[in-house]
Structure 1
Amino acid sequence: MPTALRAAISVVMLAGFYLLGLIQLALVGWLLFEIWTHLHGVGAAKLSWLLIAAVGAVVAGLWRAVRAKPGDPHGLVVTPEQAPELWQQVRALAAEVGTRAPDEIRLVPEVNAAVDEDTKLLGLLGGTRRLFIGMPLLQTFSVDQMRSVLAHELGHYSGSHTRLSRTGAGW
């Protein structure tokens, strides 16, 4: 599926999430009106409090969704000066797969490799790219094995797999 289509679907789903919340709020308002129009007394009050609690849960969920911020990336940043051979391999492989090299390489304790990208405009514009490499992989893999893992991860960039996901490809 092309990245532009995935981005469009993501935007529609994002807008749909908030629209669904607003529809629920409008429905609860209508139900409260109907309850107090047709019922009176303790029964109407109990139903009203139940609906108001549901509205509070929806509003709290929407508020948390709006204010959510991604956490800082984990791992130890490796600069080109600290690991020139690793950076040279990564840049050469990125050129081979036809993509921009990552801006950061981070070492992590997991037995894994992954990539992510901080994008702009809901994934339509690229941003800071990070390559995460597990230390156990660096310690145990041969150069050829490591190159194949790196090429796989860089392939996620060339396929625009990281554009619409903050968690990263490969995790």
Structure 2
Amino acid sequence: MKTFWKVLFWIFMVCVGLPVFGVLLTLVLSTFTDFKVGGSSGDKQASDLIGQPVSTNPPADLADALSFFSSLTEVKKDEIKDAYRGKLVQWTLPVWEVSKRDDKFVIQTSSGGAIAIFCNVTPETDDEAARIRELDAGDLVTCKGVVTGYTLGNVNLSPARLVY
């Protein structure tokens, strides 16, 4: 009887554990690949934020490409993501978290909407920094920025500005 449970345990580990590990490994590796392909945020300047954004609402095709449960192939997902990379967008989304790294703020939005973003903002004034510090989870923010890449289903915008 003890052998039966050992065999059942290993069947479970092979049938469930290995695929789960494979999915997690794929997610981690694709995150780093996307980051390298997108370039560093230092390549972009604040002057890139001038002009009309190509998108003022999170696009359905990009949301589908970033979805874990998408029926799109990897090739189609990459084509859609590449179409937005380097483009100026302006989206209004709910705040999930605000963190600070050196002189930059990273505003992460909730994935409750179609898309979640990392909005990398360098405040130009102390007043702007104070406004960012006062943000609470659930507050709606309008972030205008350049799509530099993707991290675990989130869109990276850098440089970016909050639009009031």
TM over 0.5: no
* Bigger relative contact order (CA 8 A; separation at least 6): 2
The TM-score normalised by the length of structure 1 is 0.26
In proportion to residue count, which structure has more helix? 1
Counting strand residues as a fraction of each chain, which structure ranks higher?
A: 2
Give the TM-score normalised by structure 2: 0.26
